[in-house]
Structure 1
Amino acid sequence: MSQNKVKILGIAPYEGMKSIMARIASQRDDIDLSVFVGDLNEGVEIAKRNISSNCDIIISRGGTAQMISKITEIPLIEINISVYDILRTIKLAENYSEKYAIVGYPAIITSAQMLCDVLQSNIDLFTIHSKEEASETLKNLKKQGYKMVLSDMITTTLAKRMGMNAILITSGEESIKSAIDQAVKLYKSYIHVKEDNKFLEEIIRGNGDNVIVFDSNSNIIFDSITSEDTDTIIELLRSELPNTLKLGSHKIYKTINENLYTIRCRRILNQEREYAVYYFRYDKAPTSGQLSGINYYNKAQVEDSFFNSFFSIINTTSKNHYDIEQLSLSKSPIMLTGEVGTGKSQMANLLYTFHPYSNNPLVNIDCGLLNEKGMKYLTTNTNSPLLDKSNVIFISDLQKLSDKSALDLLALIRDLDLHKRNKLIISCVNTTEEPKLSIRLEYMNKLQCSNIHMDPLREKIEEIPDASSLYLGTLNLDTSNQVLGFDTDAIALLQEYDWPYNYTQFKRVLNELSVITTTTYISKENVKSILQKETAILSNSSTAQIDSEDTIHLKLDSSMTLDDISKEVIKRVLKLNNDNLTTTAKQLGISRTTLWRHLK
């Protein structure tokens, strides 16, 4: 590696910016770029861990850049947001049908105002100067009926936490190129000589996967922790510090959140000062909770799962007419019903986050994965979560249990008063078939469950344009593609489709459309091609099923109208499916609404 290359530490607030920075760097021979993804405090921690790696200049954006500048003397270049960046985001929001505004720091709003004047646009603009002001502004906007904001990373994060939709104003390639050019120019304007730090070299030579160093006053002076249990491990090692300074070298073992930590402790002297150095590795600890179908998740894991899920991104749960928080706080068990792919598991995650028991783990009993060993553990082991209290217990996919196992579990729940000692949430796929329907009703009646029904996507087609825009905005953060929306009539095709696998299928189709689209807008032809493929897969499967069970023979009369023939075909297929409307609609490639219309 040439010695005259500028060593740049890039800290991007989102994955898409990292990809663009890496691509630009690969096209230049005068820089050596190391780029990471982290926003605000996470970005600061990344900077702390990497500023010792001989970097010459740091490049970041917005609030993250301002925070990093306060913890290091290394020169920092901030990536500016250009007028074109704002225009690109406004175009992405064109399909959004509800009230929205642009919220940002003065640099963003000044450019946005000029752009709105040129475009003669009436988008509402709100200026903020701090994270606290951003939070207060968003609260007021939400009260005034605003549903979405176009904003920087800080405001976008706050908006999503408040249940609002948000599209991040991303930095385009031209803005990032400009920042890198400034970094190179700044570096060449001065000579910065660095001395090797022998103390840190000695620490790193310890060969630990993770390293943390404290001074004798318990202050952290270096760390390279990648563990998910960072805060817990830091507090553990702080409590171990007096022992380390007294004993010198020793080892400790500790299980934290199902991880088994092996920690090697050392006392090192540097310039007559004492330091405690800890090297540690960790692996999954074997626990009974890891039995097939039984898992424990802490609050951070559940929140991460929900807030990064498709359902959170498109904000579908906030549009549910149920008072989610009130139902979560009630004493009644909750039965989540709906078709496959309607988001029952993510609704359970959201209910958990609202409940006072969320400081304890979420216990997930997945009936689809629960084997005989797992069922035996639940019913006989003294460590069974069914014997515990003050937890949120989520029994998912109840319909996948055998009829006998489902009824045995219900009897056990009642005998142990499980639903009175814990918050119980149960999910079940809708069916009108016996005996699954009777078992579901037995649970609801015997446990006195409140019901949350998750509507299928075909009954909420009016949400498809907004949901598509929001999810495309998120996809743009993870790739260097910048898809801004759909061509004319492309959205209409999505709304006309039946979506038998609901939001799960919808997300997969949007992902595929984003991948195959090479232009700024997704074409009607691409949408039509993808949906035809989806229909063909389902039709082939459905046809095989009908052929294996019966053959439809129709005696046609010349006086019969097309509606008469359609109605007769529907009646025959309905009979083959034991009057199951959903299965019949899927086989015929029509919606339940169309099916009902033909049967009237």
Structure 2
Amino acid sequence: MQKIKILAVAPYEGMAEAISSIAGTFNDIELTVQIGDLDTGRKIAVELAHKNYDVIISRGGTAELIRSTVEIPVIDISISGYDILRAIKLAETYSGRYVIAGFSGITGSARVLCDLLQYDIDILTFTGEEDALPALRDAEKRGCTLTLGDMTAVSAAKKLGMNSILISSGTESIKTAIEGAVKLVRSSLHVHKQKDLFQALLTDQEQEFLIYDPAGSLWFSSLAVDEMNDSLMNLVQTYLKAFLKVPDQTVARQIRDKVYTISSRHLYYSGQKYTAVIIRLTDAIIAEENPEIKIYNKPDYLAEDSPTYYSSSSRTGDTAYMIEEYSRSKLPVLIAGETGTGKDKVASMMYENGPFAHSPFYVIDCKFMGERKWNNLLTSDNSPLSSLHATIYIKNCDTLSKVQLEKLFSYVESTNLIKRNRLIFSLVTRHGEPHDTDCVRTCLENRLSCLTLLLPPLRERLSDFSSIAALYLHKLNVSLGKQIIGFETEAMEVMTSYQWPGNLDQLHRVLKELVTLTSTPYISYRVVKNIIAQEPSSHADSFTTSLDLTQTLDDINYQIIQTVLKEEQGNKEKTSKRLGISRSTLWRLLKSRDIKA
């Protein structure tokens, strides 16, 4: 027969020993004894209640507090008339005046006993632990020097320097309480049988289950007592607040060589909301410290605290609109742009505002994926690609070989990956080298029907430059403890005339250097000029390798105009701005060489 699991919370050590001794005479119970009075006892019961006890036994005010906190049945170890009479008889040998004090479990029986035996004894009833000291202090003023009572009364008497006698529960009362607990559980045996069967079913699964009550206290756990893993429970606590508020969330965290996938559901019983937490453990396919695969979750996903730079001008306003609309869609998206244009930031924005924001965000960096790791990603059951309703960001697709790319497309098409998850791809475009990524981009757009988002380089966002710089300056002021307002006019001209081959990443780094070197409200022209002079020129290499310096000056100028015009894709306004000449001058120079303007 299945043993009955009893948790005994004794208010004092002597009772704990008595309970353990008497429980040893029962063959059908499994007993755990803890010592704690009142709130301490209540906390013990709350902490242990989820360990699948059938019933709790305790005494007096401690039992009342436990009963008001946990849903497990609580059996009170009563104070019999004989227990009280024994204490009174002992007190009769005391020469001074005494008082009976405690919670109603003791004082109610004491009143009945005193009425029957016509004892004239002061009786004080506590409604809370805070009542004990004031009540006994008043009794002391009336000449009482001895207190008969429960643990609360005895503890308060000691603080006041009064003598005290603890009214303890006799063996008969303890045995009666244990027998009552057994009868209570046996009377609802069919319910406990169902509970045990369902619990066995849950614990035999590869998943673990936790259930939290409406107050966020652990109510049920499928984990065996000796398997309670502190790091795992701490991990659950990290997300519990979010789970209690929002249902149907899934987070994933890799710890060393294991991946913990934790999901939540809301269950309702008698109008009360309970939160179920399901934990699944799998082997990681990549070591935690490796950069190939990273896992993020919305509750704790805090990308670098950088502002959004796609909402300040007409062109970037269009980009912001596309990001917003693409975020809502479940269709795959290709983000293309030069190095440093914010592709990772845009991908994270699409995740945080996307349809699967309550599931993990997997970032797979193709730049670090060798052939063996790539094959493992596409074949392992524990791969992020095997997820359901996750957002998967495959970055730097331009670094994949043709074989790897073909394997990816075959996997996506054969497993319906696009229908199961949200896919985001990114590739790096290079200024002046448009053909390097054409094949990858064409395959992603045509074979996978990706929506395409082209992020403009910083040199094409000059109308946004001052706004972007202001947002970065604010962030740097906070992190570096500065109070910089902006740039001197000449300094800003130097900043906007530079081509910024590294785009936003380079701008952020340069601004950090400028802010560090500046102690005045405005960043000076001199400091900017010195820093920019140390930065690489985005077009110098292409110029020096393509220019024929043996020609005349007019021919060399013409070559420069042709090179810049090609890089700006025939845009004469941008070309003239880069060359520092007017559009009419550019037109005249081209016309003079019989080139149609």
Shorter-chain TM-score: which interval? 0.3 to 0.5
TM-score between both structures, scaled by the size of structure 1: 0.47
**Which structure is larger by alpha-carbon Rg, 1 or 2?**
2
TM-score between both structures, scaled by the size of structure 2: 0.47
